[in-house]
Structure 1
Amino acid sequence: MKKINFENLSWNWTRIALLILASLCLSVGFGLLLNYKNGLITSLGFVILIIMLSKRFWYKNHVEYNKLGIVIKLNLITDRTIKFNEIDKININDNKLIVKLNSERKFEFQIKDIDSSDINKLLRILIENSKSIFTDNRTEKLLLPIE
């Protein structure tokens, strides 16, 4: 079974520290702080930013979320961005997770080979943060209790 990499973007202190370090490297490297230009320090700042922003390309199954929305990439090359306040219905069966929006648009994700605990965690994130209707059509009810 494949695992999903989850990343909560709300107040992630390591992410904030890396952003501050990258901005300091860029400011010093461009000569804005110490009036000393250095291309190596500037490059270090850009490398830190590239590593932080490229995480969603490292994993085949990746989910980023905060209190406003979620970015889901499951068995796809591209990802789907969904705002929680636009979600109307969530439907799951044995092979697919279907998220229907208020605008009659829908997103389908293949979940056949994904670990059931990760599917339940993704469902918990979607249900807790949106005011949506949830329907579970799986043959085996694998929903974990909300802790």
Structure 2
Amino acid sequence: MLFCSPASRFAGTAVAWRELQGEPLITLTRDSGIRLLIEVAYKTVGMPLLPAYEVSQITTALALVEARLGVAVLPTYALAAAPHRRIVSQPLSNPIIARDIVMIRPSGRSVSPALATFETILRRNVRRLAPSDLD
């Protein structure tokens, strides 16, 4: 998802990756799996990835967006860190970049009450944060 200021030209509309050309981009550092996905998207559309800022934490990226220093491409779950920030998020397309996040547990074993509760809360929050087409 693209995270931007409510005053950004991207607010309120879906955004194609190519439209990010020339925008000050805030990204996570190269040791992040998210960064690899962003690099793939930029390469796919034939643009060089030239970040204005590279940060280690999603919350730092969101703070820079809120300060209007650029736009950030972050996973949908970054919405959980932005509920009180003056930031909007928009889906990115052409290409659509996604990754699976899975929960693995041993088969053939009963689930502890703690794990069952955690799984229920996790699923509820994922549905709340994920765009409807990803449910």
1 or 2, which has the higher strand percentage? 1
TM-score (norm 1): 0.26
TM-score (norm 2): 0.28
Higher Cα radius of gyration? 1
